[in-house]
Amino acid sequence: MTRAADFIPDVQRLLAERGEPAYRLDQAYKALTNSLVRDWEEVTSLPKGLRAALAAEVPASTLTLERHYRASDGTRKYLFHTHDGHAIETVMIPEKKRRTVCISTQIGCPMACTFCATGLLGIKRNLKAREIAEQVFVAARDIAPERVSNVVVMGMGEPFLNYTETLRALKVLNDPEGFGLAARSIAASTSGLVDRIRRFADEPEQFHLAISLHTPFEEQRREIMPVAARHSIPELMSAARYYVDKTRRKLFFEYTLLAGVNDQPEHAAALSKLLDHPLYHLNLLRFNWTDTGYAATSKKRAREFLAEARERGLPATLRPSRGQDIDAACGQLAAKDLRGRPVVQLT
Alpha-carbon distances, residue 324 vs 16, 88, 118, 346 (angstroms): 48, 17, 15, 13
Catalytic site residue 89?
yes
Segment 24-27 long-range contacts (CB within 8 Å, at least 24 positions apart): 24/50, 26/177
Instruction: Examine the residue annotation and report whether 311 is marked as an active-site residue of this protein.
Output: no
Instruction: Using alpha carbons, select from 56, 96, 53, 102 the residue that is nearest to residue 74.
Output: 96
Q: Are 159 and 153 in contact (CB under 8 A)?
A: yes
CA distance 157 to 194: 17
Q: In a 3-state reduction of DSSP, which class is residue 181?
A: coil
CA atoms within 13 A on the CB side of 190: 25
If one counts every other C-beta atom within 10 angstroms of the C-beta of residue 233, the result is 18
d(CA 231, CA 234): 8
Cβ 132 vs Cβ 169: under 8 Å: yes
What whole-number distance in Å separates Cα of residue 39 and Cα of residue 42? 6
DSSP symbols for 127-159: PPHHHHHHHHHHHHHHHTTS---EEEE-SSS-G
- The whole-angstrom separation of Cα 338 and Cα 347 is 19
Beta strands in the chain (DSSP E): 63-70, 76-82, 87-94, 99-102, 106-109, 122-126, 150-153, 186-190, 208-212, 251-257, 280-286, 316-319
Residue in 20, 89, 131, 254 annotated catalytic: 89
Q: Can you state the angle between helices 23-33 and 9-18, rounded to 10 degrees?
A: 150
Q: Is 237 helix (H, G, I), strand (E, B) or coil?
A: helix
Among the options 102, 109, 116, 330, which is catalytic? Answer: 330
**Is residue 90 classed as helix, strand or coil in its secondary structure?**
strand
Which residues are known to be catalytic? 89, 330
